[in-house]
Amino acid sequence: MTHDHAQHAHGHDDHHHGSDLSPVEARVRALESLLTEKGYVDPAALDALVELYETKVGPHAGARVVARAWTDPAFRARLLADATPAIAELDIGGRGGEHMVVVENTPEIHNLVVCTLCSCYPWPVLGLPPVWYKAPPYRARAVIDPRGVLAEFGVTLPETTRITVWDSTAETRYMVLPMRPAETEGFSEEALAALVTRDSMIGTGLPRAIPVAPAEMPV
């Protein structure tokens, strides 16, 4: 459910017209209107749900957790020992995050998260799962050929790096603590969080590279 969908359905942005909607958005709008008319859906509840996923849960929440772990050794130790209460220290939690486990990437070990049975995913820290996470090819190949899957995501690891695959379930959801990029000493938590990607917390990606300032032009 997108923010635009909520705007169109609930009249928050009157300058949009039905002709501006894509076919999928038009179908969603018609379905929501029908459900609202029959009393099955409360528009206010939908607004609250959209706001929840736009402002409170999502990859930005997980990025805060990672950045805190990179800058606070005591928090990192608590996070790796018992992730759920450690994450709750940052006022992050809820459905899908009742039992969290955080696994740490190192030069020797790279962690990859999958749900082989369905699409169990740590919603409070990562938001809604990407389409590929729920797709059967990823769910199967992540276990059979994790190195090949990572290569398709653009992640090539040294042969000496062991890949460990973690299978999320309805009871236990996993999140990866990626390695802190080099040359980030002195970065604030906010600056570090901006380097953390959703995929790096699933294990299919790495944190963003540090922008390199262009060399000074000769006089």
Q: How far is CA 158 from the centre of its chain?
A: 25
19 part of the active site: no
22 part of the active site: no
Q: How far apart are CA 116 and CA 139, in angstroms?
A: 5
Catalytic residue among 119, 168, 188, 200: 119
119 part of the active site: yes
Catalytic residue among 19, 33, 118, 188: 118
Catalytic residue among 33, 115, 168, 188: 115
Catalytic residue among 19, 22, 33, 120: 120
Cβ neighbours of residue 18 under 8 Å, at least 6 residues apart? 8, 26, 29
115 part of the active site: yes
**Backbone Cα Rg of the chain:** 20
Task: Give catalytic residues, as residue numbers.
Answer: 115, 118-120
